[in-house]
Structure 1
Amino acid sequence: MKKFIADMNFWEVFPEAKIAVLAVKNVKESIQLDEKSATEIKELLNHANREAKKYLPSDVISENPVVHVWREAYSKFPTKKGARCSIEALLKRVLHDNPVGTIAPTVDITNAISLKYALPIGAEDLDKVVGDIHVGRMKGGESFLPIGSDKQEPPLENEIAYYDDAGVICRCWNWRDGQRTEVTDDTTTEFIAMECVEPERYHQLEEAVNELEKLLQYYVGAETMYKAIIDKEHPEMFIKD
């Protein structure tokens, strides 16, 4: 049995955070969709790009509330210079009239939900995870090879990160994924996490993970193994038998 565990030192920094977790199997990551389904997903993403503009009342990206709250969150732990929450990168494209484009069905669905709800989402290949997945403060120096890099970029001391027994999975909480657990065309079992640090948006977090689950089931055949929302009172859950 594999678990997802939010460490006590994570809650010391973010006592009000909630993390929606979805663990799925039999994902057809490299599926070739029929024309109707492909068109529907493309429109889902296009619509999300358009609707995301409501989260951007200011032309200065950092002044928008959904971005500012994550800038504030990142100020509470050591980060690599320039590291930003993944949702900021998506919204920045919308702000600059460079909408997030089609990549692959599961990526498009995930990006659409992330944009629709302005919440960060990350996915990992669960079969490549060693032991349990944790989120918490790092000692510093743990193994981490980022996607798109050929050299190690270990986390800083006390940096918040997702990690397992083999090293870091995602640096700076929800900034950059590593190659070891990267989702590829061969991935069939996935761990998906969606974070919220705004108590007034907890209901949107629940809506977002439920909608993501349904879309992945419908379009890529994903079967839910476990789903839950983690908080300080419920800091762990099973993610794989």
Structure 2
Amino acid sequence: MIDFPVVDSEVAAIAPSFRAISILVDANRATKGKIDSSVLRSACDFVSLGGPVWANAHMASWAEAYSRFGAKPNRTSCSAQALRKRVEKDGHIPSINPVVDLYNAVSLRFAIPVGGENFDAYVGKPRLSVADGTEPFDTVINGEAIVEHPAKGEVIWRDDLGVTCRRWNWRQGTRTRLDRIGGRMWFILESLETMPEEELDEAGNMLVGGLRQLAPGCEIYKHRVAAGQ
């Protein structure tokens, strides 16, 4: 039984409709595969044509949730909104590596924040919680490695060592960053009430399908997460 991640009750009060799909992948015995290189481009084209019909409503829900914990969504929007804005401006986003391209494509196609993490770098379970302001966050600014701290009251993803993603899903840290296919990987697809339930399932299916192509023979454990569980 995979009994993570944990969603603290304080987060449930901020976004009671929060629900997500958690996907743990063990690729230690997997072979090397590949996916269609056009998957990211196709998702960008879909956004340029308008994207899913619920996209604007879902982004508005995330902006409201950010406002509830004191973030300014126009300055630090959720990850899905940030990706969409780049595509709307430039028509595309650059390729990074196959696994990041895959989960960015899922995010764009379904207007949903998607995070990918190196689970072998975690200490303890992933936890969605409200910061007290003392938690360390490893990041890079202007090419220099630094340690930041979240604002008190900020929604964060964290483990037993510190913050892994600030402002819910706005910026990932360097310690648990996923930069290759291999080992144990963890993904989280996060939604609010304005995204249809069946589309959340489809987003999870797209990600799982792509991961099986990238890492044939990998073991995948998928389960639902909800606020208040």
Q: After TM superposition, is the score higher than 0.5?
A: yes
C-alpha separation between the residues in 2 aligned to 1:7 and 1:137? 8
Whether 1:44 aligns to 2:39 is: yes
Q: Cα RMSD over matched residues?
A: 2.7
C-alpha separation between the residues in 1 aligned to 2:150 and 2:132? 8
Structure 2 gaps, min length 5: none
1:185/1:214 CA distance change after superposition, 3 Å: closer
Q: Residues 21 and 228 of structure 1 are in contact (CA less than 8 Å); yes or no, is this contact kept in structure 2?
A: yes
Whether 1:162 aligns to 2:157 is: yes
* Equivalent position of 2:227 in the other structure: 232
- What's the CA shift for 1:84? 1.5
What amino acid is the match of 1:177? Q
C-alpha separation between the residues in 2 aligned to 1:20 and 1:78? 25
Q: Residues 21 and 229 of structure 1 are in contact (CA less than 8 Å); yes or no, is this contact kept in structure 2?
A: yes
- Structure 1 residues 1-241: aligned runs within 5 Å: 3-26=4-27, 37=34, 40=36, 42-55=37-50, 64-79=56-71, 82-148=75-141, 149-185=144-180, 187-221=182-216, 223-232=218-227, 235=229
What amino acid is the match of 1:12? A
SS of the residue 2:5 aligns to: strand
1:91-136 CA distance string (max 9 Å, x none): 1121113402322111111111111111110011111111111101
C-alpha separation between the residues in 2 aligned to 1:28 and 1:185? 15
Number of aligned residue pairs: give it. 223
1:222/1:96 CA distance change after superposition, 3 Å: farther
- What's the CA shift for 1:53? 2.5
C-alpha separation between the residues in 2 aligned to 1:166 and 1:207? 33
What amino acid is the match of 2:46? E
Structure 1 gaps, min length 5: 58-62, 236-241
Q: Residues 27 and 219 of structure 2 are in contact (CA less than 8 Å); yes or no, is this contact kept in structure 1?
A: no
Moved more, 163-172 or 83-92: 83-92
